[in-house]
Amino acid sequence: MKLAIYGYGNLGRGVELAAGQNEDVELTGIFTRRDPSGVKTLCGTPVYKASDVKLFRDKIDVLIICGGSATDLPGMTPGLAGDFNVVDSFDTHARIPEHFDAVDVSAKKSGKTALISAGWDPGMFSLARLYSSAILPEGRDYTFWGKGVSQGHSDAIRRIKGVEDARQYTVPVESSLEAVRSGQMPDLTTRQKHTRLCYVVAKDGADRARIEKEIKEMPNYFSDYDTTVNFITKEELARDHSGLPHGGFVIRTGKTGANRENTHTVEYSLSLDSNPEFTASALVAFARAVCRMNARGDVGCKTVFDVMPKDLSPLSDAELRRTML
Amino acid sequence: MKLAIYGYGNLGRGVELAAGQNEDVELTGIFTRRDPSGVKTLCGTPVYKASDVKLFRDKIDVLIICGGSATDLPGMTPGLAGDFNVVDSFDTHARIPEHFDAVDVSAKKSGKTALISAGWDPGMFSLARLYSSAILPEGRDYTFWGKGVSQGHSDAIRRIKGVEDARQYTVPVESSLEAVRSGQMPDLTTRQKHTRLCYVVAKDGADRARIEKEIKEMPNYFSDYDTTVNFITKEELARDHSGLPHGGFVIRTGKTGANRENTHTVEYSLSLDSNPEFTASALVAFARAVCRMNARGDVGCKTVFDVMPKDLSPLSDAELRRTML
């Protein structure tokens, strides 16, 4: 299976590494909007100009698009699906329906297969929600994120006057997790589900009290949460907070029985040292499925809900039944 | 979707209840090898003789076969797949390949769709193993069962002389669970993974020391485990141990990164008040998928690995993308 990477940031680098962990994957190249001569890759993969990608139409089975959801993917994925089988990790949940429709039109026209919103949320967490709600229709599910770094929230802090750098962790509230697992099906407010933990490097002479107040009162990002702000040095930030860990929990509890007397708890959780590397690993597995689906003539826009699980694995159907069923 | 139940034990009763929790399901009837006039159903579903099932060929979309894996299903499922779309919960892992082959021949000949080995293990746990190993190819997975009642082990104790009744719980070893979650990828012996906890009602005058010794030394069932035997009264057994709870954990840890420096932990766990009712709920969801697959002409033997997740849900593709992705 010949894969290529379109966009070479954290996620693209993760795909390059993940490709090397899968024996059936060959990496054709990396396409970037930067000057290729200035890009040093992790594994020596050749680098090409993004604008040349169409020249590689016949040399790529699936193109993995590693752009941002806010401004890159809404244009990129429908555009590239006109020439390639593609996978993206579009993660703006509210805009998935319109992204799906735009990609579907393009992929159906070109006879390609385009899978959007792969990764862990959307992605594996979505699958956990679907499977457990299909099995337990009378129930309720909850998604908690963290402990992990939210890049959006870290960026929001960095935009405050007097802040040199910052890192924000989203942290699930343990007592709420326990209440959910017990089958009580509690109503939880935003504040009851997660807390926000901030590590901030202030510029010399900056007013720390004002920075802390601005963070805690920031609408949408922090005002609905219990937020803790810790000021640390640039060195401490680099030493203790340079990774991009993340993870979370999808928990569904449901009732069965003549009098709904039996409670069942289904929990799917992730603890990830590197959010982009895990997401990239998922993109490569879903690219394998896209390649097979297109070979079967299954074209248009797809999501993780449309993928037969066996298509994610390099093993044959018989091997899967023998070793994993 | 018209379902019917073939076999009316704990699992069949669970399917009858689960059918009532799904608005798109209509229950045609229950087929039993007993005299139908002597069978009282939980929800007033009509009862018919198993030998009459073929008369209902056109009145059943999917027949859910609720027999035992040891002696019932190896004959029943291939036989019934000659006339019906079917789902079973065949759970003898080592014999799945031959069961698959026998069912596949029958279902392909009749143009029916037959899904075997649905439930939680095999079933949801199998899916957890497949998804996580496809995403994290350099890793290792572990399956732990419990805390829950093992009917096979309970039966084995009941066959010992002087035992009136017994209940056996399989219990995962917490310290091993923690070692696995940490990403150490330990080698674990049988003894290190699970302990066995037995509640035994001895007959009047029976030699309890001998019973305890016979349990602990029983090959295959107990001799490889740390086993605890508690003698209790018939009343205590009825009061405290009449349920059939079960559950367990599938945990995969894997490494990514240029130097495999990042560890990821994927965990899927179930805590079930009623093992047969949860299994039954899964069978109904997979019956929905079987119905749709057959309508699309996708015939032959299938497993959970062949099912597109969306086919398990009564919601439309667009609703699923909008509400769960």
Among B129, B277, B313, beta carbon nearest to A262: B277
Instruction: Chain A: give the shortest CA distance to residue B321, in Å.
Output: 7
First to last CA, chain A: 25
Average pLDDT over every residue of B253-261: 98
The tens digit of pLDDT for each residue in A108-136 reads 999 999 999 999 999 999 999 999 999 99
Instruction: Give the amino acid at A156.
Output: A
Angle (CA) A144 A147 A151, round 5°: 95
Q: Which residues contact A204 (CB under 8 A, 6 or more apart)?
A: none
Q: Which pLDDT value is given to residue A247?
A: 98
Query: Which sequence spans correspond to the domains of chain B?
Result: 2-120+276-323, 124-274
Omega of the bond leading into A147 within 30 degrees of 0 (cis): yes
Using a CB-CB cut-off of 8 Å, the residues of chain A touching B309 are 127, 130-131, 134, 304-307, 309
The tens digit of pLDDT for each residue in B32-87 reads 999 999 999 999 999 999 999 999 999 999 999 999 999 999 999 999 999 999 99
Angle (CA) A45 A51 A53, round 5°: 55
- What topology is assigned to B124-274 in CATH? Dihydrodipicolinate Reductase; domain 2 (3.30.360)
Q: Which pLDDT value is given to residue B175?
A: 97
Q: Does B94 touch chain A (CB under 8 A)?
A: no
Using a CB-CB cut-off of 8 Å, the residues of chain A touching B138 are 21
Q: Which residues contact A228 (CB under 8 A, 6 or more apart)?
A: A195, A196, A197, A198
- Model confidence at B17, pLDDT cuts 50, 70, 90, reads very high
Q: Which residues of chain A have pLDDT under 50?
A: none
Lookup: tokens for B68: 């035992």
Omega of the bond leading into B122 within 30 degrees of 0 (cis): yes
Tell which B residues from 257 to 296 touch A, by Cβ distance under 8 Å: 257-258, 261-274, 277-278, 280-282, 285, 288
- Model confidence at B176, pLDDT cuts 50, 70, 90, reads very high
| Measured distance CA(B39)–CA(B290) in Å, rounded | 28
Find, in chain A, the residue whose alpha carbon is nearest to that of B317: A305
| Measured distance CA(B30)–CA(B56) in Å, rounded | 11
Average pLDDT over every residue of B169-175: 98
Q: Which pLDDT value is given to residue B97?
A: 97
Among B133, B264, B305, beta carbon nearest to A308: B305
Among A117, A273, A309, beta carbon nearest to B131: A309
Using a CB-CB cut-off of 8 Å, the residues of chain A touching B306 are 308, 310, 317
- What topology is assigned to B2-120+276-323 in CATH? Rossmann fold (3.40.50)
ipTM for this prediction: 0.97
Q: Which pLDDT value is given to residue A53?
A: 98
| Measured distance CA(B223)–CA(B191) in Å, rounded | 9
Inter-chain CB proximity A256 and B18 less than 8 Å: yes
Q: Which residues contact A13 (CB under 8 A, 6 or more apart)?
A: A42, A276, A280
Q: Does B129 touch chain A (CB under 8 A)?
A: yes
Q: Which pLDDT value is given to residue B224?
A: 96
Q: Which pLDDT value is given to residue B309?
A: 98
Chain-wide mean pLDDT for chain B? 97
**Within B159-226, where are the H helices?**
174-181, 190-193, 208-216
Inter-chain CB proximity B96 and A321 less than 8 Å: yes
Q: What percent of chain A has pLDDT over 90?
A: 99
Q: Which pLDDT value is given to residue B276?
A: 97
Using a CB-CB cut-off of 8 Å, the residues of chain B touching A325 are 93, 96, 117, 122, 126, 303-305
- B258: closest CA among A166, A13, A2? A13
Q: Which residues contact B289 (CB under 8 A, 6 or more apart)?
A: B115, B307, B308, B311, B312
Average pLDDT over every residue of B98-111: 98
**Within B140-187, where are the H helices?**
151-158, 174-181
| Measured distance CA(A93)–CA(A97) in Å, rounded | 8
Using a CB-CB cut-off of 8 Å, the residues of chain A touching B272 are 262, 264-265
Q: Which pLDDT value is given to residue B15?
A: 98
Q: Which pLDDT value is given to residue B303?
A: 98
- Across the A:B interface, residue pairs with CB atoms under 8 Å apart total 216
Write down the residue that tokens 């179930």 correspond to: B270
Q: Which pLDDT value is given to residue B279?
A: 98
- Model confidence at B248, pLDDT cuts 50, 70, 90, reads very high
